[in-house]
Amino acid sequence: MHSTGNSNKEIAMKRYSTTVIAHICAIVLLSAAAFFAFSHRMPFTGILLALFIAGLGINLYRLQMIQLRLMKQLSQNIRCGDTALSFRSKYRNAQLEELTDELREAMRLYKKRTMEANEIESWQKLIRVMGHEIMNSITPIISLSETLSTREVEYSRMQQGMQVIHKRSKGLLEFVENYRRITRIPAPVKEKVTLAELFNGIAELIPNDYISFAQPAPQISIKADRTQIEQVLINIIKNAIEACAEVPSPQIQVKSSVSETGTVSITVSDNGPGILPNVLDKIFIPFFTTKENGSGIGLSLCKQIMHLHGGNITARSTPEQGSEFTLFFN
């Protein structure tokens, strides 16, 4: 199956290469013939040959533009995490369309392998974090309970020890509750939501002078669970507000765009201190946080909600310049 796919892809590439080489050879030969015709005072023949050369040149340019359009669409699909690549030019080009089908299948297989590898890695990281959090709570509880049960201690010290045990037990209970939250996200109830209504609703929920919403066109809409997407955007905007807390002139911008392939994206950007590169690749891991009192589940919830919507969320950041989070809706 795999070898057959590779064989078909090689055939499609060879056909396309042969077509391009044939065009170039024809242009060279016709150029020589046109030069000969004009040199021997055969202007009519020379003009006809020049027209043929122009036609071949235009067709070759068209082939290159179709390929560039395909590569641009492929790049956009990869960025959005969409493997359903579809390419049909208004000019019939069976070779490029055949190559597109091969690329779509290759992307599907690549995404499947990547998701499996990422899932294993995510579970390993989650287990490490959970083990760390649980041990941090259990160890002092065991130590204190052993001390209180095997030694005679004053009432005040016993009371202090019980307070510590209560605090650590409560912290462990909160940790387990947070874990339940990220594993029990309800399936989204999708409906048509216009971005204009979505932005206006969030602007009312988070009124702030330095948050600007670029109003999208009224017809731009997504199929989504409005409550869940509002939760995602509010979470990201609140993170941006916290990031800009010590910035002299904070700026947070929420804007949208629609790609050539119809993918709708919403971007939240800020001019805060940014996120360090060694932290950026961990921000979507459950329970990972750099905040003193953070739970580490906010961005993990956002990513899971976007995956339930068949979309994706990405983050880009430059230290000392700011961060940018983008939601993609396919």
Residue 28 tokens read as: 């060279």
Beta strands per DSSP E along the chain: 191-194, 211-213, 221-224, 252-258, 264-270, 312-318, 322-329
Over the Cα atoms of the chain, what is R_g? 30
- CA dihedral 141→145→148→150, nearest 10 degrees, is -140
CA dihedral (178, 204, 207, 215) positive or negative:
positive
Reported residue count of the chain is: 330
Residue 123 and residue 150: Cα distance in Å, rounded? 39
Residue 166 and residue 171: Cα distance in Å, rounded? 9
**Looking at the domain that runs over 191-329, which CATH code has it been given?**
3.30.565.10
Beta strands per DSSP E along 171-285: 191-194, 211-213, 221-224, 252-258, 264-270
Please, which residues bridge with residue 265 across strands?
257, 328
Read off the pLDDT of residues 60-118 as tens digits, 9 standing for 90 and up.
Answer: 888 777 777 767 766 666 665 555 445 454 445 565 666 666 666 776 676 666 656 66
- Model pLDDT, residue 2: 47
Q: Give yes or no for residue 32 having a pLDDT over 50.
A: yes
The pTM score is 0.57
Read off the pLDDT of residues 164-187 as tens digits, 9 standing for 90 and up.
Answer: 777 777 777 776 666 666 667 788
Burial class (CB in 10 A: 0-12, 13-18, 19+), 78: middle
Residue 134 and residue 268: Cα distance in Å, rounded? 34
User: 255 in helix, strand or coil?
Assistant: strand
